[in-house]
Amino acid sequence: MRVLFFLMLAFVGWTGAALPVDALDPETALAEGNRRFARDEIETALAAYARGYAGDGSRADGLLAYNAGTCALRLGRLPEALLWYRRAETADPEDPWLQDNLAMTRRALGDPPEAALSAGGWPAYRRWLAWAGVALAWMALALLVLDRRLPRGLLPLLALLGCAAFAAGMLPGRFGPRAAVLLWACPARDGRLPAGSEVWVRPAEDGGWRIVGAGAGPRCPPEAVGVVAP
């Protein structure tokens, strides 16, 4: 039983992701981006915000993504602005200013086709499942430490439920389809999807991405796809 529990904790730790080598901490990135933005250096402000973005769904991450989207919008790079606003939405889907900017950007793009993506969507539910798995793990640890007489099989059941909830929250984000925004037009079986299309993608065997969904599937180059959440 103890082996099973500690294997579960090791599985939780394995899902952690390292930051890029040139990443900035969020506070530094926000300060640098704001300083550049105040000087009307929009391109370098966008680069600073992007270096601080980690994709962890935190409030700071959402603010960095929102500011990066505003910079991209100022530069007229609408698909990139939509990508950053979608990333910000995973952190704070209820923000009315963000939803207004999302709607405006989509209208400016001509409301390109979407492929089963919705506001908030599956990423928000994945986070709740992952937290439920962590809570069950701590509950099992507390019961293990207290070592009270418990119904037979309760601790293994809690451990298995914790593993299942955490896996349901984390594994689809690592191995399943990824929510993405097309930064360039990409081929599809029934034509071409325009830049700004919101799609699901899977990694292609030879690099790049393949679009998931009815009528789509050909490979897109890596630079053409912006993944919403790393």
- What's the pLDDT tens digit per position in 84-103? 999 999 888 889 999 999 99
Under a CB-based contact definition with an 8 Å cutoff, are residues 17 and 230 in contact? yes
- What are the residue boundaries of the structural domains of the chain, listed by start? 2-14+120-175, 26-108, 178-227
pLDDT band at 176 (very low <50, low <70, confident <90, very high): low
Q: What is the pLDDT of residues 21-68, one digit of tens each?
A: 477 889 999 999 999 999 999 999 999 999 999 988 889 999 999 999
Per-residue CA distances from 125 to 49, 116, 119, 129, 193 (Å): 26, 15, 12, 6, 28
Cα radius of gyration (the chain) = 20
Q: How far apart are CA 172 and CA 118, in angstroms?
A: 17
Q: Fill in the DSSP letter of residue 220.
A: E
Q: How far apart are CA 77 and CA 90, in angstroms?
A: 21
Higher per-residue pLDDT: 215 or 230: 230
Q: How far apart are CA 34 and CA 177, in angstroms?
A: 34
CATH code for residues 26-108: 1.25.40.10
Q: How far apart are CA 68 and CA 70, in angstroms?
A: 5
Q: How far apart are CA 178 and CA 199, in angstroms?
A: 8
Per-residue pLDDT averaged across 140-157, rounded? 63
Q: How far apart are CA 201 and CA 180, in angstroms?
A: 7
Q: What is the pLDDT of residues 99-119, one digit of tens each?
A: 999 999 999 998 765 544 433
- What residues contact residue 178 under an 8 Å CB cut-off, 6+ apart? 200, 201, 202, 209, 227, 228, 229
Q: Is 89 helix (H, G, I), strand (E, B) or coil?
A: helix
Per-residue CA distances from 208 to 183, 203, 204, 221, 226 (Å): 13, 6, 5, 5, 11
DSSP string, 198-214: EEEEEE-TTSSEEEEST
Main-chain dihedrals φ then ψ at residue 93, nearest 5 degrees: -70, -15
